[in-house]
Amino acid sequence: MREGSLEAPTRHPIDWKNPDFFNEGLLFGELERVFDICHGCRRCFNLCNSFPLLFDAIDESDTMELDGVDKKVYWDVVDNCYLCDMCFMSKCPYVPPHEWDLDFPHLMLRAKAVKFKKAEVKTRDKLITATDKIGQLASIPIVVNAVNASNKNATVRRLLDTTLGIHPDAILPDYHSKTARKQFNKSTQATINSKACGATTGKVAIFTTCYGNYNRPDLVADLIDVLKHNNITVTLLKQESCCGMPKLELGDLEQVEKLKNDNIPTLVQMINEGFDIIAPVPSCVLMFKQELPLMFADDKDVAKVRDAMFDPFEYLMLRHKGGLLNTTFKEELGDIAYQVACHLRVQNMGLKTKELLELIPNTSVSAIERCSGHDGVYAVKSEFHDIAVKIGKPVVNRVDKSEASVFSSDCPMAADHIASGLKDEKAVKNPISLLKQAYGL
């Protein structure tokens, strides 16, 4: 049997409209097949908690084989997977076209979808994955102050822990009544004579994301400033809903479809008007680039959005290739410790953020290619928070040991999670904000 492949991995469409997808007996047959291969391989022992949990259960069983493991453990393995995709993209030699045809993350997704269909998910999980609904409520003026104050109040946080299962030490972001979409809805600069180059049109519609819109409008503001400084026409979408990644991680595939139906027509309309799409959060970019196209493989509009969706630094580096990036910098940034978010790494485009920031004179970026442990809502849950901190510890140690005065990650949630564990005082800045700073804007 040949191990590994010389070809690029293939990702099969997610066959979720097939009733067999939700057949628990068939699911367990596939879980057994895949877990047994993983037991013999064990390369992924240090990626997340799913694999150590499985391997420990096997090693501690009477038979020391998968047949000695209680099926309840299978669900624990599923619950500990946050679909970062790293096992598929960076470790596994048995991914298709290998005949063993292993796609561990998408098998976990199938199991999550079965669990959701059986109505076995917690109310808490439904609530915290409704990011746009929570954002709409929490950003109402007056309500917003109460929400932000409560999230910092130790008594309230203890109550949230015991009643809902939100860990008291998990970082809950501030909400803003002046959301990005309220502030920047009229950002289009009709006067900019933007030039197309390569795969980029020079006109960008920003998908602000739930996090950018409700929690980090400053990040959207910085992105707009950086794009305009590069002679790129910028606007926001006429409307947007959540990209669907939180609901995907919950296994609520019907809600993912609903959100897709909300977003895709608006996105396609903008693309038809000559705009490319950028989102400031890697997970949301990945949702449009990879997960939706695999869930809706025959949908031409979804494919159109996939081809026009860019990470901000990927976009700017494409412009740089065509000589259209503004490389006149006013401020040097020095040493930056930089965590590469998993959902950025699995986009397979190289380290564009590092490449661009290192165009700035006297600026060096030490890339740390390890999981932060935050992973969507994983670190927020009471039962997983301590594990999430443990997963992020190697990153925290590397940042603490580095000489850098600044810590950065493209994922703002990962950045806050890591920053909360740092011993040293370091400035925490998103790469987009660092670029804006270097431009002297």
Residues that bind ligand SF4 (CB under 6 A): 37-38, 41-44, 47-48, 50-51, 81-87, 91-92, 94, 102, 104-105, 108
Q: If DSSP codes are grouped into helix, strand and coil, which group holds residue 238?
A: coil
Comparison of 374 and 426: residue with beta carbon closer to ligand SF4? 374
Structure tokens given for 48: 């997340």
- In the bound complex, what is the minimum distance in angstroms from residue 47's beta carbon to ligand SF4? 4
Residue 324 CB partners (closer than 8 Å, separation 6+): 195, 197, 202, 230, 231
Comparison of 47 and 351: residue with beta carbon closer to ligand SF4? 47
358, 338 contact by CB (below 8 A): no
Comparison of 84 and 399: residue with beta carbon closer to ligand SF4? 84
- In the bound complex, what is the minimum distance in angstroms from residue 48's beta carbon to ligand SF4? 3
E-assigned strand segments in 228-350 = 233-236, 276-278, 309-310, 334-339
Could you give the count of Cα atoms lying within 13 Å of 127 in the half-sphere of its Cβ?
11
- In the bound complex, what is the minimum distance in angstroms from residue 13's beta carbon to ligand SF4? 18
> Of 191, 273, 263, whose CA–CA distance to 232 is shortest?
191
CA gyration radius, the chain? 22
Comparison of 389 and 428: residue with beta carbon closer to ligand SF4? 389
Comparison of 4 and 68: residue with beta carbon closer to ligand SF4? 4
- In the bound complex, what is the minimum distance in angstroms from residue 251's beta carbon to ligand SF4? 13
CA-CA distance, 107 to 295, in Å (whole number)? Answer: 13
> What one-character DSSP code corresponds to residue 197?
B
- In the bound complex, what is the minimum distance in angstroms from residue 303's beta carbon to ligand SF4? 24
Comparison of 37 and 171: residue with beta carbon closer to ligand SF4? 37
> Of 316, 417, 416, 400, whose CA–CA distance to 358 is shortest?
316
Comparison of 44 and 399: residue with beta carbon closer to ligand SF4? 44
- In the bound complex, what is the minimum distance in angstroms from residue 31's beta carbon to ligand SF4? 12
- In the bound complex, what is the minimum distance in angstroms from residue 56's beta carbon to ligand SF4? 14
187, 236 contact by CB (below 8 A): yes
423, 400 contact by CB (below 8 A): yes
